């Protein structure tokens, strides 16, 4: 019987790779949160369209959710580029109007589902529209992070989130 190697002999994580993943965490978290809030609508709209007997793929919820994710990434990027801005705002009281953001993320895809001109492939089943573009954006960010981590490991220097 082969004995497992002691835990102390395991190779240590490369700090350059850890730095790349730490730099990308806010971006990945943003797409995950927006995707989580949009998922009920993005999955529910094809089901409701099918139950109502409508055909075609409603692109409205997907486009609005993707726009919400891009806007969220832009906000995160602005704060990552100017940490002093985040430091100024971090300890202030959160404005009450900011509570509208999660409501917007939940309601805007639902409202976009009523956009009839956004229905494409009218002869197809609505279930063709279950694939989320935010999920694809999240996969692209993850693949980009892995590429940056490999580049950092090969170069021997850390690579920042922008580059």
Residues 4-45 pLDDT 10s:
555 555 556 777 778 888 888 888 898 888 888 888 888 888
Please indicate, yes or no, if residue 138 is contained in any of the structural domains. Answer: yes
- pLDDT of 68 strictly over 80: yes
Please indicate, yes or no, if residue 30 is contained in any of the structural domains. Answer: yes
Q: Which one, of 79, 72, 44, lies nearest residue 58 by Cα?
A: 44
Please indicate, yes or no, if residue 5 is contained in any of the structural domains. Answer: no
Please indicate, yes or no, if residue 115 is contained in any of the structural domains. Answer: yes
Amino acid 22: pLDDT: 85
Amino acid 108: pLDDT: 86
- What domain range is 117 assigned to? 14-90+98-155
Amino acid 74: pLDDT: 92
Please indicate, yes or no, if residue 9 is contained in any of the structural domains. Answer: no
Contacts of 159 (CB under 8 A, 6+ apart): 16, 20, 148, 149, 151, 152
**Of all residues in the chain, what percent carry a pLDDT higher than 90?**
2
Amino acid 71: pLDDT: 92
Amino acid 54: pLDDT: 83
Please indicate, yes or no, if residue 134 is contained in any of the structural domains. Answer: yes
Please indicate, yes or no, if residue 160 is contained in any of the structural domains. Answer: no
pTM of the model: 0.72
Amino acid 2: pLDDT: 60
Average the pLDDT over 75-100 and give the result.
82
User: Are the beta carbons of 133 and 66 closer than 8 angstroms?
Assistant: yes
- 96-112 tens-digit pLDDT: 777 888 888 888 888 88
Please indicate, yes or no, if residue 2 is contained in any of the structural domains. Answer: no
Q: What is the mean pLDDT of the chain?
A: 79
Number of domains, the chain:
1
């Amino acid at each position: 019987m082969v004995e497992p190697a002691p835990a102390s002999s395991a190779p240590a994580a490369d700090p350059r790779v850890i730095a790349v993943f730490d730099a990308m965490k806010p971006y990945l978290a943003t797409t995950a949160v927006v995707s989580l809030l949009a998922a009920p609508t993005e999955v529910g709209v094809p089901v409701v369209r099918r139950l109502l007997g409508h055909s075609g793929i409603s692109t409205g919820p997907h486009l609005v959710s993707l726009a919400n994710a891009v806007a969220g990434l832009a906000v995160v990027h602005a704060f990552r580029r100017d940490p002093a801005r985040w430091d100024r705002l971090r300890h202030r009281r959160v404005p009450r109007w900011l509570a509208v953001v999660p409501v917007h993320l939940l309601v805007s895809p639902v409202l976009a589902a009523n956009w009839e001109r956004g229905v494409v492939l009218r002869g197809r089943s609505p279930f063709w529209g279950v694939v989320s573009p935010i999920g694809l954006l999240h996969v692209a960010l993850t693949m980009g992070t892995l590429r940056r981590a490999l580049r950092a490991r090969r170069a021997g220097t850390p690579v920042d989130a922008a580059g």
